[in-house]
Structure 1
Amino acid sequence: MIIIMADEKTDLLACLWDEFSAMRFPTGWYDREPEGTCLVTLDTALVGFAANVLDGPPLGARHREHLRCRIELLAELLPAFGTDSYASRYFVALYRMAVLAEEIDAERGAA
């Protein structure tokens, strides 16, 4: 049963990946650092984790912790994008993809 659920979630992650990959990083946010956070670096890290979950074995404990911390950080930053509808959509899509990647990785690690 867990394998079926993981496969369905992996398919959903692949769909989210395709949708997110079609989006461009929000104009005007390259040099902004809300709460001292480089958004480009945060984006790159979360996209990398999602790619690893799609294509690879379970993450190691250290990488899993980094993923969890970056998801929490992005969750805290989401209100900062409220006045920019595209940036909000972009970072919410990134957040959803990262959260799902974390869930899939946790299931793989438990199997």
Structure 2
Amino acid sequence: MTNETQDQLSRSWEDFRNLPFPSGFHSREPEGECMVTMDATLAGCISSAMNGQLDDERHAVLHSRIARLGELIPLIRDDENATNYFTLLHQTAMLAAEFDDARRA
């Protein structure tokens, strides 16, 4: 893992944290998926990964939620703010997974 990747994760996380949660997505659940829970779960995993290696359970949650969010993003394209928000969350989570995976290697 390069310092560049770690820096990229830090910048992406900071950018994400400055975005407001998209209005209308407190109750919108594409394919029955609560987007508030998706947000909180991934944000927790990202924050934890930045502070140390994830345990096996959180590592698995991070990877499964990344995959699921990737499936959901195309379903919310009708809302530009939500698409931007969840796309940045997805990208940041992928960086966190890469960062955590490198620690495990």
TM range (shorter): over 0.9
1:29 aligns with 2:25: yes
Look up the match of 1:79: 74
What's the TM-score once normalised by structure 2's chain length? Answer: 0.95
Query: Matches of 1:62 and 1:29 in 2, distance apart?
Result: 27
Query: Which digits, 9 at most, give the CA deviation of each residue in 1:63-96, with x for residues without a partner?
Result: 1111111001100000112111111000000000
Q: SS in structure 2 opposite 1:30?
A: coil
- Cα deviation for residue 53 of structure 1 reads 1.1
Structure 1 unmatched ranges of 5 or more: none
Query: Matches of 1:18 and 1:70 in 2, distance apart?
Result: 20
Query: Matches of 1:50 and 1:10 in 2, distance apart?
Result: 12
- Cα deviation for residue 55 of structure 1 reads 1.5
Q: SS in structure 2 opposite 1:32?
A: coil
- Cα deviation for residue 29 of structure 1 reads 0.9
1:52 aligns with 2:48: yes
Could you list the structure 1 runs, at least 4 aligned residues long, displaced by more than 4 angstroms after superposition: none
Query: Matches of 1:83 and 1:32 in 2, distance apart?
Result: 12
Paired residues, what number? Answer: 105
Structure 2 unmatched ranges of 5 or more: none
Query: Matches of 1:18 and 1:64 in 2, distance apart?
Result: 21
- Cα deviation for residue 35 of structure 1 reads 0.8
Q: SS in structure 1 opposite 2:21?
A: coil
Amino acid at match of 1:25: F
Look up the match of 1:13: 9
RMSD: 0.9
